[in-house]
Amino acid sequence: MMRKVFLAAAVGFVLTIATSPTVNAQTLNEKSTLTVTEPIDVAGVVLQPGTYKIRVVEDVANRNIVQVTSSDEMKVYVTALATPRPVKTNEANPEVQFTYFPPVGDSPKSLRTWIAKDTSVGQDILYPHKRAEELSIASNETLTSYPDETTTEELRTVPLTPVTPDQGVVAEQKTEQPTMVAEAKPPAKLPRTASRQPLLALLGVLSLGGALALRLIARHLA
């Protein structure tokens, strides 16, 4: 009985020793030097030109926490959420790789994927919702986001939501209709008053008639 127990313990010890170097090697590979020659955006934080270290610090439920630190790893500049992404055949490269989203408006280019040296899994950097909307529209791709104003402690459990290009379209601005102002019309012309000529003609006829009547009366009396 004791012999079987000893044998089982020995096998377990050998397996532990055999697998430990592989795990440690993978962990050590999840760290790279990030050289920045122009401002870049990493998870909503803009890094200025300089030399940094980027590393995976935690893997919880297939969700990685990535940090960008100073070159001596004493100061943390960014703590970001990332999702593991298997390296495709055409991406296989023994050297570290960084891919970026192009600049959007006045914002600098944004780190999209980091692939550490000699690893088979890359890290897709996630962005807060508002920034993810902008990147989704610019790249015309569906991205994964997390709520704005998420704290570092909440990154492990914060809900993730997809963002599609059409969801990020800015609402169509309403065009203000011009105010229609009625043009002032000139006052209607009053009808011209009746001409005085007919009245004068009538008076003339009456005068002539009166004169003829007086002549007839004068002849009769004579």
158 domain-assigned: no
The answer as to whether 218 is a domain residue is no
pTM above 0.75, yes or no: no
The Cα 207–Cα 114 span in angstroms is 120
The whole-number pLDDT of residue 160 equals: 93
Residues in the chain: 222
The whole-number average pLDDT for the span 152-168 is 87
Q: Give domain status of residue 199, yes or no.
A: no
Q: Which domain holds residue 67?
A: 29-128
Structural domain includes residue 70: yes
Specify the 3-state DSSP secondary structure of 61.
coil
Mean pLDDT taken over the chain:
74
* Nearest of 78, 90, 79, 92 to residue 36 by alpha carbon: 78
Instruction: For residue 182, tell me if it sits in a domain.
Output: no
Q: What is the pLDDT of residues 50-100, one digit of tens each?
A: 999 999 987 776 678 999 999 999 999 999 999 988 888 776 667 889 999
pLDDT band at 202 (very low <50, low <70, confident <90, very high): low
Domain presence at residue 17: no
Number of domains the chain is built from? 1
- Look at 18 and 201; give whichever has higher pLDDT: 201
Would you say residue 101 lies in a domain? yes
